[in-house]
């Protein structure tokens, strides 16, 4: 079978992590039996690790870069590309379906942004969110197979569907790269934990709750706990970064809170290995890759309810409501000062991270081949 894979929506680091991780497994498992034809953005060259015999990479035109023009280009051109390349299936990681498509469609849902009603703020963002919610309802109904990256994401789609009947679906979690597990094993007990240090890793968008952690550090300081917070990741919204910096200054926490920004993979691994706790009080999270990466290093997680983090962090974390800095401080305090509590949760974090290896997480995607093979369709 030939599968046309639409990789145009994976502009973010996390998006590429998910698509490329699944593709690497699928290509390995289906060599000699199936072919993957991947459409990619012209400015994003294919990764070296995915230069395989059964993967063909095709660059889309520049018109397919911006989300609005890309939607029009996909609806008009991709059905033609499916016929031109003799494809049997269409796979997209953006949670939607094409309006006119002659082959079964497999859609991977992993972006909850438009489904969290208080997250889009500007007029443009709200308009985009309404369009996306409509597209998600169509996918819920009409996809040959919907794949969700968490039960939380599936529930958001269900709520958005307003009682519409659902097609076939399954859950496929995201994996942690083997290089991360290898780095964690190498670090082992050789890396010294920095006392009372909290690391928060994410793309620091407005809904990630960085200000909640800043306030929580202030609460901990008032309790006599000398917590240190390190904020690692890019800041896509400059107004939000300014607000967080102002809050740090207002609370006189310049020595306690450090904004690191983007880092190399090697430094990211050091951050995970040396921190006492990983924390992310995000209001909008369909999975939470950095939390699981931190757990691979034995670093316990403090996260927010109302998103996928309790589902993903499992027994290796503790969770409280987003936006509540006092509860966040309550959850952080024993992990920062009590070795017994920390050791127990650290062991559970290691065990939980073991659930998220690509060779297990990608396995549900194989259903697309068994479900839509010519023999299966003929029998149906």
- Dist CA 105 CA 257 (whole Å): 46
* H helix and E strand count, the chain: 15, 13
- Quick one: pLDDT band at residue 141, thresholds 50, 70, 90? very high
What was the pLDDT predicted at 343? 97
Strand order in the sheet with 105-109: 55-59, 35-40, 2-6, 89-92, 105-109, 145-148, 169-171
Structural domains of the chain, ranges and CATH numbers in brackets: 2-174+358-379 (3.40.50.2000), 178-353 (3.40.50.2000)
> Helix, strand or coil for residue 59?
strand
Convert the pLDDT of each residue in 321-342 to its tens digit: 999 999 999 999 999 999 999 9
Question: Closest Cα partner for 198 from 220, 179, 180, 176?
Answer: 220
Q: In the predicted model, is pLDDT for residue 380 greater than 60?
A: no
Write out the DSSP string of 355-367. Answer: T-BHHHHTGGGGH
Dihedral angle of Cα 40, 44, 48, 50, to the nearest 10 degrees: -20
64: confidence class by pLDDT, cuts 50, 70, 90: confident
List, in order, residues 6 or more apart from 143 with CB less than 8 Å away.
97, 105, 106, 107, 167, 168
Mean per-residue pLDDT over the chain, rounded: 94
Task: Give whichever of 6-15, 65-74, 219-228 has the largest mean pLDDT.
Answer: 219-228
User: Over 90: is that where the pLDDT of 97 sits?
Assistant: yes
Is residue 167 within 8 A of residue 141, CB to CB? The reply is yes
Q: What pLDDT shows up at residue 15?
A: 86
CB 199 within 8 A of CB 230: yes
**Burial zone of 188 (CB within 10 Å; 0-12 exposed, 13-18 middle, 19+ buried):** exposed
- Tokens representing 150 are 């968490």
* HSE-up (13 A, CA, CB side) for residue 91: 26
CB 149 within 8 A of CB 128: no
DSSP state of 61: P
DSSP state for residue 82 in the 8-state scheme: H
Nearest Cα neighbor of 107 from 61, 67, 154, 66 is: 154
C-alpha separations of 140 from 109, 135, 136, 144, 252 in Å: 10, 9, 6, 9, 49
pLDDT of residue 379: 35
Q: Hey, which bits of 256-328 come out as E strands?
A: 257-261, 277-280, 301-304, 317-320
Confidence of residue 117 (pLDDT cuts 50, 70, 90): confident
Beta-strand runs (E) in 218-270: 228-232, 257-261
| Pairing of β 105-109 and β 89-92 | parallel
pLDDT at 333: 98
Backbone angles phi, psi at 365, to 5 degrees: -70, -20
């Amino acid at each position: 079978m030939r599968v046309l894979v639409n990789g145009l929506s994976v502009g973010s680091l996390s998006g590429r992590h998910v698509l490329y991780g699944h593709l690497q497994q699928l290509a390995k498992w289906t060599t000699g039996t199936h072919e993957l034809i991947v459409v990619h953005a012209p400015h994003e060259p294919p990764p070296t690790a995915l230069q395989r015999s059964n993967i063909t990479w095709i660059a889309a035109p520049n018109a397919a870069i911006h989300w609005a023009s890309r939607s029009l280009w996909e609806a008009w051109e991709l059905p033609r590309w499916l016929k031109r390349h003799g494809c049997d299936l269409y796979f997209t990681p953006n949670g939607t379906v094409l309006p006119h498509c002659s082959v079964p469609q497999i859609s991977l849902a992993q972006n909850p942004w438009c489904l969290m009603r208080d997250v889009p703020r500007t007029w443009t963002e709200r308009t985009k969110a309404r369009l996306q919610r409509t597209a998600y309802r169509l996918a819920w109904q009409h996809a040959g197979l919907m794949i969700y990256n968490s039960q939380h994401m599936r529930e958001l789609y269900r709520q958005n569907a307003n009682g519409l009947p659902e097609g076939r679906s399954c859950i496929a979690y995201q994996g942690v790269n083997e290089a991360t597990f290898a780095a964690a094993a190498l670090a082992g007990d050789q890396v010294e934990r920095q006392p009372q240090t909290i690391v928060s890793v994410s793309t620091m968008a407005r809904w990630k709750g960085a200000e909640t952690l800043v306030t929580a550090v202030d609460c901990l300081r008032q309790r006599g706990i000398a917590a240190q917070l390190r904020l690692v990741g890019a800041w896509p919204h400059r107004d939000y970064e300014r607000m967080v910096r102002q809050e740090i200054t207002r609370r006189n926490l310049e020595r306690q809170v450090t904004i690191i920004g983007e880092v190399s993979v090697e430094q990211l691994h050091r951050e995970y290995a040396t921190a006492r706790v990983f924390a992310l009080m995000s209001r909008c999270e369909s999975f939470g890759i950095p939390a699981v990466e931190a757990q691979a290093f034995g670093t316990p997680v403090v996260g927010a309810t109302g998103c996928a983090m309790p589902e993903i962090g499992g027994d290796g974390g503790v969770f409280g409501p987003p936006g509540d800095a006092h509860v966040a401080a309550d959850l952080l305090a024993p992990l920062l000062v009590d070795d017994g509590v920390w050791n127990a949760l650290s062991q559970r974090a290691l065990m939980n991270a073991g659930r998220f290896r690509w060779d297990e997480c990608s396995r549900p995607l194989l259903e697309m081949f068994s479900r839509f093979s010519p023999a299966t369709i003929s029998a149906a």
